[in-house]
A and B are shown apart, each in its own frame.
Chain A
């Protein structure tokens, strides 16, 4: 079955880079996603990567995919206080449902 794992907490200083890691188990995943959730809010799609890609860059966000190790990471450059939130990685399978990790709480310290 599918299982997505993330570390629970990450703290960084404002201006530093943040790296949030995720591992997944379903090798048939077609797309892998990063969503952001602020307190009391729904999920905001940040970026996604197709499973045949190694890297995708979108402004301050860089996604790296290591398909051999089933490892996905999200790097946020020049992290700001507004980036404080919970970040979820998610995979889709042939069933087209999203399977989420339990989320990483990112805290940006001034």
Chain B
């Protein structure tokens, strides 16, 4: 167990809808990263938040947005859902340190867009 939790575990939406996914970080961690894992592929980096500010973004459109709260929990919001957004969404928490960080993953939220 990593101490990283995500909700909900599964979600079904229709094209055009909006979705919010949630993540609670491991105690003591100040950084959260979100990844999208399509079926049969490795996770792809969406963005990272450090101390409530976006700290890096992958190749995802602006309809993917996020928030990090003072308690370091986080949300991933996706607007105008498309069929290709169907995937496992993983969050990872870490402690930002000068030498780097090790990311610990939650169990993921499986999103199906119909």
Contacts and interface: CB of A to CB of B under 8 A. Distances in A.
A98 B33 contact: yes
Interface in B65-114: 90, 92, 96, 99-108
A47 B104 CA distance: 11
B56 A48 contact: no
A96 B35 CA distance: 13
B48 interface: yes
Contacts of B43: 43, 88, 98, 100
Nearest to B41: A102
Interface string B38-82: 001111110010000001101000000000000000000000000
Nearest to A88: B42
A96 B102 contact: no
B50 to A, nearest CB: 9
Given A43-B43, A102-B41, A97 B58 contact: yes
B41 A41 contact: no
Interface size class, chain B? 20 to 34
A95 B54 CA distance: 12
B105 A35 contact: yes
Contact of B107 (A30, A42, A92, A102): A42
Interface in A64-110: 88, 90, 92, 95-103
Given A96-B55, A97-B45, A97-B48, A42 B101 contact: no
Interface of B: 2, 6, 33, 35, 40-45, 48, 55-56, 58, 90, 92, 96, 99-108
Given A33-B102, A43-B43, A96-B56, 8 more contacts: A41-B107, A43-B92, A43-B105, A97-B48, A97-B56, A98-B103, A99-B45, A102-B40
